[in-house]
Structure 1
Amino acid sequence: MSPISLPRQLKKVSDRALLKSLEAGLEIVEENLKQATSHADKIAGASARHLVDAGGKRVRPTLVLLSAQLGDAKNQDIIDAAVVVELTHLATLYHDDVMDDAPTRRGVPTAQMIWGNSIAILTGDLLFARASQVGSRLGEESLILQADTFERLCLGQLHETIGPNESEDPIAHYIQVMADKTGSLIAAAARLGIMLSGAPREYLEPMGAYGEKVGVAFQLIDDVIDISAAGPSGKTPGTDLRAGVPTLPVLLLRKAAAAGDTEAVSLLALIDGGLEDDARLQEALVRLRNHPVAEQAYLEAKRWADDAVASISVLPDGPVKNALALFAQAVVDRNN
């Protein structure tokens, strides 16, 4: 099992007491995640624990713990909320990996590679069920938030699958998909920490806006990383590009081509012609990195992160606000 620690986006936080509190809370969350993914049925237990044991960033539960620091963070409801958001996130990963036919996740074979698609899908469903069971202890308001978030997660995946309609701006459609698929659950994590800690209610909307914008920034910077040179993550550059997955740089390239950019037209012909050949992929990557759309995509991700920080201007100055700002800024400064 991979060791669990605070997301590296918080490594610049200087308040040791805050970091110690978050680390202690995350350890308890981890134990509760193990309990929540235990099943008497042998196959269900093994498949449900598969991604928990593989580790992960634990961004969403950490944000629950962090936002709860604005109120009374020392109660079981906070831990349960952190478990709920991580179980929900894990469930979406099982389903995403089936839809994407992904061979690995977090350095291990995906569930469908081990047990097949049907068991992987049903395991995702089981995790959603467990998230609902744990969430039912948190009261009506939390349960409604979870249900609304679950709906947005499904709609985001649906809209990504069917794509934009003819009258819709493809970039606006793409951003909305990112907001639904990723931003909604991170926003829910931020809001749950406020709701269940008894923090001032006026922090709910700012923290929700913060979480959603951080989620969009996180996904957009992934698009930039995909066309970047290989970094410490070891992820092969151009994975999404080769698979034909829509990303912001390519969407911006299509917009530039429609406006008459001849290099964009030429580069799109290369990309749309297929990138199975390694030499074609490398040529496309180099040209895409050198095209203005690469910088435009980075600046768009940065804008979302900056907007996230602006959303929490109402919060009181102090270590929690500073940590949230550092986290948002670090999202776009990562290389994996």
Structure 2
Amino acid sequence: MSTATTTPPVLRLPGASKELAARLADGLARVEALITERTANEDDFITEANRHLAEAGGKRFRPLLAMLMAELGEGINDEVIAAAAGVELTHLASLYHDDVMDEADLRRGAPSANAQYNNSTAILVGDLLFGTASDIIADLGPVAVKIQAQTFIRLCSGQIRDDRPCPDDQDPREYYRGVLADKTGVLIATAARYGAMFGGASEEVIALATEYGERLGIAFQMADDLIDISSESMEMGKMPGTDLREGKRTLPVLNVLASDDPADDELKELLLGDVSDDAVLARALELLRAHSAMEAARAETIAVGEGATTVLADLPDSDAKSALIALAEGVVHRAG
């Protein structure tokens, strides 16, 4: 089976005109070319490992967002392309580390980096890609470097917190939302921020681009968490129920665990226990998919996405604004 059939397609943007769509397609091709150029190494094995996840596919969501935000200013230019590539390489680098942490076998329908090589190689290649991303961003000036560093701090902090249980003195659902803001929201916010900055937008537009991006990033991860439960196939390039198997408490799970309804006792017992057995996991997914906790989590996901579009309300109408609204709608409705 090819990776093209297992990797989610690029989100459609019904709000984009043919002219905008053509500029975005050209921009994405330039980002891909820059990533290919900068991941080349004199050692063929390093080149192959650098490009392993990039060539497995992906939506290139972050570069797309950066270019859309540039359209709110003077448009896509070489600096926007470089920033978009830097953000995408940062994202790809984080996936190498994620796969080691999660002991994953698949990523985007292809063997994960740790499965293809080994844990040590996956970690080192992730580090190498972080370095490559930082090298690209460094050419954009000290402000861009500072943003990259602050983004990386939050990204790693979010991943650390995601790998640990919620502290007893904190609300689990608030803790979850904070983790999403750091581990996913911040990098998508940076993509939006860079696009507006290097696209020549005003300081006001840069600020709203950043806020839109973070809200969109949270909704993006919430939707992914829902798909992990609701999907009955490998829509995400990984097996359904992966988060449950790994013991991750996403919003639907937290909603169930907060219930005091005796009817939820069986599901709560399953969610708090060992679901490594396929039959146990299947039963937990069956009960969770039919539970009102899913609808509550889906409603919150949609509300967060709508909050992102609200940020754009005062912008004048344009192809880019319409496309950004469509992008947010596309993100949240991947959950249903």
Superposition TM-score tier, normalisation by shorter sequence: over 0.9
Deviations along 1:60-82, whole A, 9 cap, x unmatched? Answer: 01111110011222421111001
Name the CA shift for 1:29/1:227 in 2 (closer, same or farther; >3 Å).
same
Q: Distance in 1 between the 2:297 and 2:261 partners? A: 17
Give the match for residue 323 of structure 2. 323
Q: Is this contact kept in 2: 1:189–1:211, CA < 8 A? A: yes
Give the match for residue 145 of structure 1. 147
Name the CA shift for 1:269/1:308 in 2 (closer, same or farther; >3 Å).
same
Give me the TM-score of the superposition, normalised by structure 2: 0.93
Q: Which amino acid aligns with 1:119?
A: T
Measured on the aligned residues, the alpha-carbon RMSD in Å equals 2.0
235-244 or 147-156, which moves further after superposition?
235-244
Deviations along 1:288-313, whole A, 9 cap, x unmatched? Answer: 12221111010111111010001111
Q: 2:160 aligns with which of 147, 158, 161?
A: 158
Q: Is this contact kept in 2: 1:91–1:127, CA < 8 A? A: yes
Identity fraction in percent: 44
Give the match for residue 247 of structure 1. 250
Deviations along 1:75-101, whole A, 9 cap, x unmatched? Answer: 211110011000100000000001111
Q: Is this contact kept in 2: 1:231–1:335, CA < 8 A? A: no
Alignment of 1:1-336 (within 5 A): 8-230=10-232, 233=235, 235-256=238-259, 260-334=260-334
Runs ≥4 in structure 1, deviation > 4 angstroms? none
Query: Structure 1: which 5+ residue stretches go unaligned?
Result: none
Q: Distance in 1 between the 2:323 and 2:140 partners? A: 26
Q: Is this contact kept in 2: 1:88–1:131, CA < 8 A? A: yes
Query: Structure 2: which 5+ residue stretches go unaligned?
Result: none
Q: Which amino acid aligns with 1:265?
A: D
Deviations along 1:33-66, whole A, 9 cap, x unmatched? Answer: 0011111123221211111222211000111111
19-28 or 107-116, which moves further after superposition?
107-116
Give me the TM-score of the superposition, normalised by structure 1: 0.93
Deviation at 1:229, TM superposition (A): 4.5
Q: Is this contact kept in 2: 1:65–1:82, CA < 8 A? A: yes
Name the CA shift for 1:98/1:217 in 2 (closer, same or farther; >3 Å).
same
Q: How many pairs were matched up? A: 332
Name the CA shift for 1:74/1:254 in 2 (closer, same or farther; >3 Å).
closer
192-201 or 160-169, which moves further after superposition?
160-169
Deviation at 1:192, TM superposition (A): 0.4
Q: Distance in 2 between the 1:60 and 1:252 partners? A: 29
Name the CA shift for 1:227/1:95 in 2 (closer, same or farther; >3 Å).
same
Give the match's secondary structure for 2:333: coil
- The higher-RCO structure (CA 8 Å, 6+ apart) is 2
Q: Is this contact kept in 2: 1:10–1:323, CA < 8 A? A: no
Give the match's secondary structure for 1:9: coil
Deviation at 1:2, TM superposition (A): 6.2
Q: Distance in 2 between the 1:310 and 1:55 partners? A: 31
Q: Is this contact kept in 2: 1:229–1:237, CA < 8 A? A: yes
Deviations along 1:172-199, whole A, 9 cap, x unmatched? Answer: 1111111101100000000101111111
Q: Distance in 2 between the 1:79 and 1:269 partners? A: 49
Q: Is this contact kept in 2: 1:226–1:240, CA < 8 A? A: yes
Q: Distance in 2 between the 1:232 and 1:281 partners? A: 16
Q: Is this contact kept in 2: 1:221–1:332, CA < 8 A? A: yes
Q: Distance in 2 between the 1:61 and 1:229 partners? A: 26
